[in-house]
Chains A and B, each alone.
Chain A
């Protein structure tokens, strides 16, 4: 059974860079697409970006200028960096498998942007 686990700081200061890592276990990161999705408290879901194991990427245009997604196949991990964060970036961040529909999800990690 594939499992995903997000890790990273739960508190980030405004204007700094949010960095998260997703570790995939129970299966290889190869041959699949992997995404980041976020959910502000009490609100709906927003897809952020995906990466294919080959390294090709796609970003949500609304966030593209601030987002970088990368992966490390040797560690079975992929990562998210979101720069110049503001309070509007406070959300639960999920990693998930898939480019467009998502069949496996991590449990999510709350990232709060505050000084």
Chain B
């Protein structure tokens, strides 16, 4: 099973700032099968990115993803008030698919 580690655990930023979230895998994720989700309190996760760098339907272009192998990054270029949430990475290149522990982006 591929174990994902996310850093930092919490990221405290102000609206308008850039957020950089990291996801590291215990082994290489095949074909960049890496997704990112956003979850707000009391809500289901929402798919943001898949294939490491492809935005899901309706996701604004301030969200971008990059990386390959074992190191992946989600970048939010300018934080909007609605972006403060928990972000999870997920790998689906290995079985079973697994999620990281999450990074909380909160308001500084």
Contacts and interface: CB of A to CB of B under 8 A. Distances in A.
B66 interface: no
Interface in B39-67: 43-47, 50, 56-57
Given A45-B88, A47-B98, A61-B96, A100 B33 contact: yes
Contacts of A107: 43-44
Given A44-B100, A101-B35, A106 B44 contact: yes
A45 B99 contact: yes
Interface of A: 44-47, 58, 60-62, 94, 96, 100-103, 105-108
B90 to A, nearest CB: 7
A44 B99 contact: yes
A103 B44 CA distance: 11
Interface residues of B, number: 23
Contact of B92 (A62, A100, A103, A108): A100
Contacts of B57: 103
Interface of B: 1, 33, 35, 37, 43-47, 50, 56-57, 88, 90, 92, 95-102
Nearest to A43: B101
A47 B97 contact: yes
Given A44-B101, A44-B102, A45-B88, A103 B47 contact: yes
Contacts of A100: 33, 92, 97
23 contacts: A44-B101, A45-B45, A45-B88, A45-B99, A46-B99, A47-B96, A47-B98, A47-B99, A61-B96, A94-B45, A100-B33, A100-B92, A100-B97, A101-B33, A101-B50, A101-B92, A102-B37, A102-B45, A102-B47, A103-B47, A103-B56, A105-B45, A106-B44
A53 B50 CA distance: 23
Nearest to A102: B47
A105 B40 CA distance: 13
B96 A101 contact: no
Nearest to A50: B97
B97 A105 contact: no
Contacts of B50: 101
